[in-house]
Chain A
């Protein structure tokens, strides 16, 4: 019973619905990943 209550409270979180901007942190990370790929390609082309 106590465990259920604790899990419910953990799921509920802080009650803000979502932390500012945390939802799209994954989008930022993917964006960075694509940018890093471009940098790598450009540097490789420069070497060639």
Chain B
């Protein structure tokens, strides 16, 4: 401890005013407060502060992402070996998966970190811890076959356009990780969608459950179709299927959710509301089911929870407090609409099999509007309440 403190003290003058590396002070500060608590004290009331800080909050989101990350690594290797008809023992799966996934995560952190530090230095603000989360969220929503340069392009877009242009973490309109994914999704559709990209074996084709669902012919039994393609409820729930790296396992997301709820880091209202939204929209489609409708209409709503990236998106993306509404009522509306739009895009838009990403980004745009309406009604209701309660009647 003393050693680290002394060491940082020794190099500090280099970065202070008039030091040769003055411009890099945010970088020094970032390292310094990564190693040790800042040790700052309050100047005025409140004289005491809660022990929690942004670093801690972000750390807890990362901890919550561990099950999904590990499952992603394992499943990537598992799918790879399965496709090649090789034995799928545990450690070979992990090894193969790690060799695919870890470089993607490393590139995401390295390139994202570069931009973060650059902007911190140029704009003279602290290095924002949001990157720790963004840098991991982004790889987890990518297919395992993605070229590394695309990872670099995507995270650059997400961090620079999605966040830093607005002023950094806390000011961004869009969830940076999702915006990064949207960037590569629209820029390089052939590497981001279709049936070829989800298993890290060249030339191997296997449609994802979402692909199967959207392509099922009219009047077909959709659950049977999924089953023919090799997807039953259990394998989907636990995540043994092709898909984006971290999103396949609803179970892993639920473990993360449990942790976030116990530590009260995540906003349960948004998650719960989005679950309701999916249920409502899924049920509506079921009601309109008929021989002339796409088979997708018949899918029971609870299958939507385990398909695609819904669980991952609802737990880790929709709950981003910066891009979600700031009002509690707004959060209910926001979550509910995310759920509804997810199903809507999945079922009736043939161009995009997955609706979670687009629906969250869409609602990111609308969250200030939702807040605005909630605020307007709040102003009216508090005015009414206060006038009714006041002893002076006008």
Whether chains A and B associate is no
